[in-house]
Structure formats: structure tokens, C-alpha cells
């Protein structure tokens, strides 16, 4: 670790955690958006996950410019979960807010978020988000179709929405802030065996531990669209299926028929998404024989191919 920290008296302030791996093209944007959040930010903890580019040098340079920026350097790559846990280990704020290194906060985001969490006496608080296009430098409208200014999120409600092909955009994409003392009291951390879908698992663990979760309907988090090429996430849908299947064995889930039903629905949705992405990749790479072989051995890919042909035929008729 580059900067030693000592415990501070809580003032309803925030520790921002940024796990960074080979993030040199965009890290400064992320950190700057956190630095500009105002007095609610106690510290910005940049965890360099053993990057092989200039990420560490950039983080150290920024830290020299603003004493709130702390740098943790990991000598071994541990993935986003392990890196965030390293940040949690030294965090001092009343709240902990995650910021992916390729994303950014909208102005005033943290102040509004924490005010909402405090007024609602919540343990987890999130807001809406918008997708950012780095080519044009513009952001879209709110991504989640929230119908209230404040939406309470139960375990059931989270499972209904935290899946692909659900009634709304996947709520697993929401980037909540956590009351740090709640995480400490329940011994909650990111699962370090997960490099994709770790946000879902931490939120589920907190909800099953009795957390109060609310979502505010303002777009404060700016997601950089995956098509930008900035993301360093290692896509692993099979791993997400295994994680959700493991949750089915948790007695708090296994003894609740509704949660079991909803978690199985999530598993089916992830398997469908995996098939859709495989189909799209094979079509893009113009590998018809491999696509045919995949369709004959995986009925989900066969359905995906059928849906694509139907959509193409419909577009031809409309055109």
C-alpha cells in the first residue's frame, strides 16, 4: 500500500473503491469524477490489480495532487473481487461506493446517493444509471425503468429484476453504496472466486443477511458501454450459472420456494444469454458450420439461431 491510513470518526462520508487493471486509458476520468463529488468523499482508494501498463504510475501521480487519493498496489492479480476487498480492508468511510475504472460518476451523484441512504435508514443504496459513449462523449437517458423516486428492493424484487431478459434492465448492473458497518457486522466481502457477477453476489449476501436496500430514480452512475473496448471484465456466464446454483443450496434460499423459483429463472436467463452471445459471435466470425454444429448439440443455441432468422425475416418484410 502506498499511503497509510488510520481510522477516522464517521461523518456520513464515503470511501470510493476503484479496482484498476490495465486501466491507463481511462483511469484518470474515473478518479476525477470521484474527486469532483465534493465534501462527501473522504477518500478514493485506487487498487492497482498488478497492472502491466501505466495504471500504477497514473494512480500515484493523481495521489500526489489530491491527498484523498490512496493507492494500494497488489503484487498478484486477484481480479475485481479481491481488489475491492483489498480496498475495503483499508476503507474508513461510513459508506463504501464502488466505481469501475472505466466508468464515472455524474456530478453530485454521491451526495444525493448518501443523503437518500441516510434519510431512508438504508444499508444499501443505489441510483439509476446511463450508458456513456466515449466516442461522442455523450450519455443516454436513464437505463432502468423505475416508476418511483425511491424504490425499496426486497430479496424477491432483486431476483425478479437482476437477470437478463427480465422485466427491466438487469438490476445486477446497479452500482450501490454500502453502509460499511453493516458489511463489517455481517462479515460480508466480495467472493474472491468470482471475476464476473460479483456485484450480484455481494448484494444477495447482504439482502439475505437482512439489509435494507433502496434505489433512487436519478441517473448518477455513467456506465461505459461494453462496445467501447474499455472494459476489462472477463465474461464468464458458466461461472455465473455455477454461482447462482450454489446459492440454491443456501438454507435461507432453499427453504423459500419463491426464492428458489426466481433463482432458477435467473439461471435459465443467463444460459440463454450465453447462447445468444455464442450465436452472435459465430455469425459475426462467419463460421456457419461451427454454428450448425453448436445448434445441433445445444438447443438454446438452436433457439437463438431461429429467433435471429425470424427477426431478420420480419425486418425484410417491414422494409
Is 50 exceeded by the pLDDT of residue 7? no
pLDDT, the chain, mean? 88
Q: pLDDT for 26-81, tens place per residue?
A: 999 999 999 999 999 999 999 999 999 999 999 999 999 999 999 999 999 999 99
> What is the average per-residue pLDDT within 144-169?
94
Report the DSSP pairing between strands 95-98 and 124-133. unpaired
pLDDT of residue 10: 44
What pLDDT, on a 0 to 100 scale, did the predictor assign at position 8?
Answer: 40
**Dihedral class, residue 71 (left if φ above 0, else alpha if ψ from -120 to 50, else beta):** beta
More confident residue, 15 or 309: 15
Q: Please, which pLDDT band fits residue 232 given cuts at 50, 70 and 90?
A: low
Q: Which residues pair with 69 in a beta bridge?
A: 44
CATH 3.90.550.10 segments of the chain: 14-228
Residues 129, 174 contacting (CB under 8 angstroms): yes
Q: What is the pLDDT of residues 25-35, one digit of tens each?
A: 999 999 999 99
Residues 246-275 pLDDT 10s: 999 999 999 999 999 999 999 999 999 888
Residue with cell 477516522: 8
Report the percent of the chain where pLDDT is more than 70. Answer: 87
Looking at residue 29, its pLDDT comes to 96
Q: Half-sphere exposure (CA, 13 Å, Cβ side) for 313?
A: 6
Q: Is the pLDDT of residue 15 over 90?
A: yes
Is pTM beyond 0.75? Reply is: yes
SS3 track for the chain: CCCCCCCCCCCCCEEEEEEECCCCCCHHHHHHHHHCCCCCEEEEEEEECCCCCCHHHHHHHHHHHCCCEEEEECCCCCHHHHHHHHHHHHCCCCEEEECCCCCEECCCHHHHHHHHHHHCCCCEEEEEEEEEECCCCEECCCCCCCCCCEEECCHHHHHHHCCCCCCCCCHHHCCCEEEHHHHHHCCCCCCCCCCCCHHHHHHHHHHHCCCCEEEEEEEEEEEECHHHCCCCCCCCHHHHHHHHHHHCCCHHHHCCHHHHHHHHHHHHHHHHHHHHHHHHHHHHCCCHHHHHHHHHHCHHHHHHHHHHHHHHHHHHHHC
How many CA atoms lie within 13 Å of 145's alpha carbon, on the beta-carbon side? 5
Q: Between these two residues, 228 and 294, which has the higher pLDDT value?
A: 294
pLDDT tens-digit readout, 270-318: 999 888 887 777 777 777 777 677 667 777 777 776 776 666 555 544 5
Paired with 105 in beta bridges are: 221
Local confidence band at 88 (pLDDT 50, 70, 90 cut-offs): very high
pLDDT above 80 (res 235): no
Report the pLDDT averaged over residues 8-20.
79
Rounding to the nearest 10 degrees, give the CA dihedral for residues 150, 151, 154, 155: -120
Q: What's residue 274's pLDDT?
A: 84
Contact criterion met (CB below 8 Å) for 10 and 114: no
145: cell is: 425503468
Write out the CATH class of domain 14-228.
alpha beta
Amino acid at each position: 500500500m502506498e499511503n497509510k491510513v488510520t481510522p477516522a470518526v464517521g461523518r456520513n462520508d464515503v470511501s470510493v473503491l476503484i479496482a484498476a487493471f490495465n486501466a491507463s486509458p481511462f483511469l484518470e476520468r474515473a478518479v476525477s469524477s470521484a474527486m469532483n463529488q465534493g465534501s462527501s468523499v473522504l477518500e478514493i482508494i485506487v487498487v492497482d490489480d498488478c497492472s502491466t501498463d501505466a495504471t500504477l504510475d497514473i494512480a500515484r501521480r493523481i495521489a500526489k495532487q489530491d491527498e484523498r487519493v490512496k493507492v494500494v498496489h497488489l503484487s498478484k492479480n486477484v481480479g475485481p473481487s479481491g481488489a475491492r476487498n483489498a480496498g475495503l480492508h483499508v476503507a474508513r468511510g461510513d459508506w463504501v461506493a464502488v466505481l469501475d475504472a472505466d466508468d464515472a460518476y455524474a456530478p453530485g451523484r454521491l451526495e444525493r446517493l448518501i443523503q437518500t441512504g441516510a434519510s431512508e435508514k438504508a444499508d444499501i443504496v443505489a441510483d439509476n444509471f446511463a450508458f456513456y459513449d466515449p466516442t461522442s462523449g455523450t450519455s443516454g437517458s436513464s437505463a432502468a425503468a423505475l416508476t418511483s423516486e425511491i424504490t425499496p428492493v426486497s430479496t424477491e424484487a432483486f431476483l425478479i429484476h437482476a437477470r437478463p431478459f427480465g422485466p427491466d434492465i438487469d438490476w445486477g448492473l446497479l452500482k450501490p453504496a454500502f453502509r460499511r458497518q453493516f458489511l463489517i457486522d455481517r462479515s460480508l466481502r466480495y467472493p474472491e472466486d468470482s471475476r464476473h457477477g460479483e456485484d450480484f453476489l455481494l448484494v444477495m449476501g447482504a439482502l439475505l443477511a437482512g439489509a435494507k436496500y433502496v434505489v433512487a430514480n436519478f441517473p448518477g452512475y455513467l456506465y461505459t458501454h461494453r462496445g467501447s473496448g474499455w472494459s476489462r471484465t472477463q465474461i464468464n456466464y458458466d461461472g455465473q450459472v455455477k454461482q447462482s446454483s450454489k446459492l440454491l443450496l443456501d438454507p435461507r434460499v432453499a427453504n423459500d420456494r419463491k426464492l428458489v423459483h426466481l433463482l432458477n429463472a435467473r439461471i435459465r436467463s443467463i444460459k440463454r444469454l450465453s447462447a445468444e452471445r455464442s450465436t452472435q459471435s459465430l455469425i459475426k466470425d462467419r463460421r456457419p458450420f461451427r454454428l450448425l454444429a453448436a445448434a445441433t448439440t445445444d438447443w438454446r443455441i438452436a433457439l437463438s439461431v431461429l429467433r435471429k432468422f425470424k427477426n431478420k425475416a420480419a425486418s425484410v418484410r417491414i422494409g
